[in-house]
Structure 1
């Protein structure tokens, strides 16, 4: 189960809406070994695409060095889908290389005309996708 604060959910959704129609992407880091997302880190989608996201390799290297210096790890890796449901694509699955991370997908596709969004979380290990519950809390 992913436990995450409402403030972080709001930041992730706002980033997804801001970058729409392109996919948004980013990381929420937390203390190593805690499984507690704390620090919101929006990233640039280097692909600048409505159907694909890619972290800039230089930005990603800088981020991992920074997390290492702060004794953090990527607790949540998120991105948005702009025209489809919030479920990992084959490409998403093939690029999932953090077995301990929660992979959050936000769909900004307005399928019902109400402006709603989907916020879902998955574990992706060795190509196997498992959806998990999301518990949104006011604070930890």
Structure 2
């Protein structure tokens, strides 16, 4: 099960809506081994595509160096689907390289960047096997610091 605080949930949804129709992407990182999503890191979709996301390799390298320095790891890896359901594509499955991470997909297909609900789902993807998991949104799970809530690399 993915336990995520309301502020982080809202920030991921807002990022997905803001970038629609381009796929939004990013991570929520936390202390190594904790499975606690604590710090949102919005990434730029270098592909600029409504059907594919790609991290800028330089941004990703800087992020992983920072994570190493801070003893953090990706807890949630998220992106949006702007025209399809919130389910991992074959490409998403093939690129899933963090077996300990929760892979969150947000579908903005119904309302785009307008008011209205989104589809927010989480999966574990290990060795090509996709398993959906429950998402528990809790106001008390973690507290994002103001500078972390909208941190962006790039």
Q: Which bracket does the TM-score occupy, shorter chain normalised?
A: over 0.9
Alignment of 1:66-77 (within 5 A): 66-77=66-77
Aligned to 1:123: 124
CA distance 1:5–1:91, shift in 2 (3 Å): same
**Residue-by-residue CA offset, 1:13-65 (whole Å, 9 max, x unaligned):** 00000000100000000010000000000000000000000011110010000
* In structure 2, C-alpha distance between the alignment counterparts of 1:14 and 1:45, rounded to whole Å: 15
**Structure 2 alignment gaps of length 5 or more:** 142-154
* In structure 1, C-alpha distance between the alignment counterparts of 2:116 and 2:38, rounded to whole Å: 27
Instruction: Tell me which of the two structures has the higher relative contact order, counting C-alpha pairs closer than 8 angstroms and 6 or more residues apart.
Output: 2
Q: TM-score, normalised by structure 2?
A: 0.88
Aligned to 1:136: 137
**Structure 1 alignment gaps of length 5 or more:** none
Aligned to 1:30: 30
Q: TM-score, normalised by structure 1?
A: 0.96
How many residue pairs get matched?
Answer: 139
CA distance 1:115–1:37, shift in 2 (3 Å): same
Alignment of 1:50-61 (within 5 A): 50-61=50-61
